[in-house]
A and B are shown apart, each in its own frame.
Chain A
């Protein structure tokens, strides 16, 4: 696994000018897709592949919301609760997911399958409530849709 990731990161590295660190975000994304989250070991792998220190990787990864420095569930359900979605009833959508999953926002269901979280504006304001299920947007989500979405993921 480690070798494959190393090779893939070299491919990305070749896209950008030599001597730059631009491959870091894509590399972190690849590592996260591989391991589910950015563990200290994963960060070290990325660091080795890009000739930077693990500290650089962690400092960059910790800046961005999409990188997980703690383990998360197999699936991600992210409910936009920014202004427009909130006006459509995002809070009620969130609460329906909390009920279905038996966990609160920011937590993972007991079976480890689904991490539920709120997220800032996803850029679908006219079609809210937006829920990103494994990063794919569902538009116009209502509280009563939560059960079916959770079932898809189980």
Chain B
């Protein structure tokens, strides 16, 4: 089965990191076309395309652009900020987009800058992405020789320094302003008061890399791809227990089962093992069991299962994986990455980890399993940003869908997975400085 490529089009046969190669496949033609159109016309095309943000929040991109005030309403400079802080466990698509089609991404930046009246573009790229950063900087170097393309727009690549929370757009803006990356209270939203308190559009890498194709084919044509509420194509990151981990560009609506088993996609589970569970959209999403794979991989179908595409990171877990250990590892991640601003998230994620550790050690009672769910409930919906919410919802979903397995760990019970779980004893960064004191973390 072949799949329509939009963002990665042309990469099968050419090295599109080079400007000349990219232009040879029609690159930067959309930019030229866009400059013959008014900003409003481009935004209208985006509205017609029904493109929704690829970072995970699914906000309609054209609508976001339309919120930016006119210079008469707000004389401050407008900024375009690209969120390249991809840090969601399971997602690695923006890594590949920047690494393989940097010019398509840059073209998207320049078109968007034109549409939202911005002369300054900041690409906030996570500090760990040194490889993609170097490729992007090299592509921008090539662009320096081409004022015809660049116009009067400056693009600054700004490196983060290791903080998951900076993928949250207002935390990103604070970080870009040289502060600790903690989310802001909203409103005001960035479109009104974003970077340096000026009108700012924040978009994800994949969203921006899709813009040239929409300008080229027209919004209505793009909206014919995919399914309602999930138009176009998406790069889906498939990882974990699959034969062929990687990013696959497909039209939403494809079944999750195909994503995992189709020979040109995930290629099935190694050793012919059964799928026990799938994290569908990065570790912040509600888990699906192996019996729930006959679901369309799109916004509406996953919503009907109370979960989400998120940032499209599909993690496949085979039958050997202990769900309590998965809970520990995921909870430790959010504990480590909680920015500390809101108490329910800062303290709650720590409590989740501690109770899960006690459960795993066979030292917890049923009351503590209830306490775990109570802690989740006390985080959810009580913080400034979704970090705590999603951590709590993810963990609660493991308990809800694999309750028997959690119960089996209670009161001296042993793990039904025995010693075969691949997540057994995995050392998370949050625990690495306390090797000998792990047991002390467990509350008495």
To the question of whether A and B form a pair in one complex, the answer is: yes
Q: Which A positions have Cβ atoms within 8 angstroms of B? A: 15-17, 20-26, 28-29, 59-60, 63-67, 81-84, 86-91, 94, 104-106, 117-128, 132, 135-137
Q: Which of A29, A117, A128 contacts B432 (CB 8 A)?
A: A117
Q: A59 CA to B181 CA in the complex, in Å?
A: 11
Q: Which of B86, B159, B179 contacts A29 (CB 8 A)?
A: B159
Inter-chain contacts of B130 with A (CB < 8 A): 135-137
B214 near A: Cβ within 8 Å? no
Nearest chain A residue, comparing its CB with the CB of B283: A83
Q: Which of B131, B196, B315, B427 contacts A137 (CB 8 A)?
A: B131
Partner-contacting stretch, out of B55-63, B234-242, B345-353, B409-417: B234-242
Task: Tell me whether A120 and B337 are in contact in the complex, defined as CB-CB below 8 angstroms, given that A81-B429, A87-B422, A90-B426 are known contacts.
Answer: yes
Nearest chain B residue, comparing its CB with the CB of A23: B178
Query: Which residues between 67 and 114 of chain B lie within 8 Å of chain A, taking CB atoms?
Result: 86-92, 94-95
Partner-contacting stretch, out of B23-31, B161-169, B379-387: B161-169
11 sample A-B contacts, Cβ–Cβ < 8 Å, listed by A number: A22-B176, A81-B329, A82-B89, A83-B330, A84-B245, A120-B333, A120-B336, A121-B333, A122-B128, A125-B315, A136-B131
Inter-chain contacts of B37 with A (CB < 8 A): none
**Would you call A64 and B160 a contact (CB within 8 A)?**
yes
**Would you call B158 and A106 a contact (CB within 8 A)?**
no
Nearest chain A residue, comparing its CB with the CB of B180: A63
Q: A118 CA to B431 CA in the complex, in Å?
A: 9
**Would you call B245 and A126 a contact (CB within 8 A)?**
yes
Q: How far is the CB of B370 from chain A (nearest CB, A)?
A: 26
Give the 5 A-B CB pairs with smallest separation, nearest first: A126-B245, A65-B162, A24-B178, A21-B178, A64-B161
Name 13 extra pairs, CB < 8 A, besides A29-B127, A83-B330. A21-B177, A21-B178, A25-B175, A29-B159, A60-B179, A64-B163, A66-B128, A82-B283, A84-B89, A88-B422, A89-B422, A126-B245, A127-B246
Inter-chain contacts of B321 with A (CB < 8 A): 87
Inter-chain contacts of A67 with B (CB < 8 A): 161-162
Interface string of B147-160 (1 = CB under 8 A from A): 00000000010111
Q: A132 CA to B126 CA in the complex, in Å?
A: 14
Q: A84 CA to B88 CA in the complex, in Å?
A: 11
Inter-chain contacts of A29 with B (CB < 8 A): 127, 159, 161
Q: Which B positions have Cβ atoms within 8 angstroms of A? A: 86-92, 94-95, 126-131, 156, 158-164, 175-181, 196, 237-241, 245-247, 279, 283, 313, 315, 317, 321, 326, 329-330, 333, 336-337, 339, 422-429, 432-433, 435
Q: How many A-B residue pairs have CB under 8 A?
A: 169
Q: How far is the CB of B357 from chain A (nearest CB, A)?
A: 16
Q: A136 CA to B132 CA in the complex, in Å?
A: 10
Q: How far is the CB of B257 from chain A (nearest CB, A)?
A: 18
**Would you call A106 and B162 a contact (CB within 8 A)?**
no
Q: A18 CA to B86 CA in the complex, in Å?
A: 29
**Would you call B128 and A21 a contact (CB within 8 A)?**
no
Q: A51 CA to B129 CA in the complex, in Å?
A: 29
Task: Tell me whether A25 and B178 are in contact in the complex, defined as CB-CB below 8 angstroms, given that A64-B161, A81-B426 are known contacts.
Answer: yes
Q: A101 CA to B134 CA in the complex, in Å?
A: 30
Q: Which of B164, B240, B422, B432 contacts A106 (CB 8 A)?
A: B432
Q: How far is the CB of A12 from chain B (nearest CB, A)?
A: 10
Inter-chain contacts of B427 with A (CB < 8 A): 81, 91, 94, 105, 118
Q: Among the interface residues A65, A106, A120, which one has the most CB atoms of the partner chain B within 10 A?
A: A120
**Would you call A65 and B246 a contact (CB within 8 A)?**
no
Q: How far is the CB of A18 from chain B (nearest CB, A)?
A: 11
Q: A87 CA to B130 CA in the complex, in Å?
A: 24
Q: How far is the CB of B309 from chain A (nearest CB, A)?
A: 16
Task: Tell me whether A81 and B425 are in contact in the complex, defined as CB-CB below 8 angstroms, given that A66-B162, A120-B164, A126-B238 are known contacts.
Answer: no
Q: How far is the CB of A29 from chain B (nearest CB, A)?
A: 7
Q: How far is the CB of A95 from chain B (nearest CB, A)?
A: 9
**Would you call B163 and A128 a contact (CB within 8 A)?**
no
**Would you call B429 and A118 a contact (CB within 8 A)?**
yes
**Would you call A60 and B180 a contact (CB within 8 A)?**
yes
Task: Tell me whether A87 and B95 are in contact in the complex, defined as CB-CB below 8 angstroms, given that A22-B178, A94-B427, A126-B245 are known contacts.
Answer: no
Q: How far is the CB of A84 from chain B (nearest CB, A)?
A: 4
**Would you call A117 and B429 a contact (CB within 8 A)?**
yes
Q: A7 CA to B164 CA in the complex, in Å?
A: 31
Inter-chain contacts of B177 with A (CB < 8 A): 20-22
Q: A25 CA to B181 CA in the complex, in Å?
A: 11
Inter-chain contacts of A20 with B (CB < 8 A): 177-178, 196
Q: A26 CA to B129 CA in the complex, in Å?
A: 15
Inter-chain contacts of B92 with A (CB < 8 A): 123-127
**Would you call B88 and A121 a contact (CB within 8 A)?**
yes
Q: How far is the CB of B3 from chain A (nearest CB, A)?
A: 16
Inter-chain contacts of B126 with A (CB < 8 A): 123
**Would you call B159 and A83 a contact (CB within 8 A)?**
no
**Would you call B423 and A87 a contact (CB within 8 A)?**
yes
Inter-chain contacts of B180 with A (CB < 8 A): 59-60, 63
Q: Which of B89, B159, B247, B435 contacts A121 (CB 8 A)?
A: B89
Q: A132 CA to B127 CA in the complex, in Å?
A: 12
Q: A60 CA to B245 CA in the complex, in Å?
A: 36
**Would you call A125 and B196 a contact (CB within 8 A)?**
no
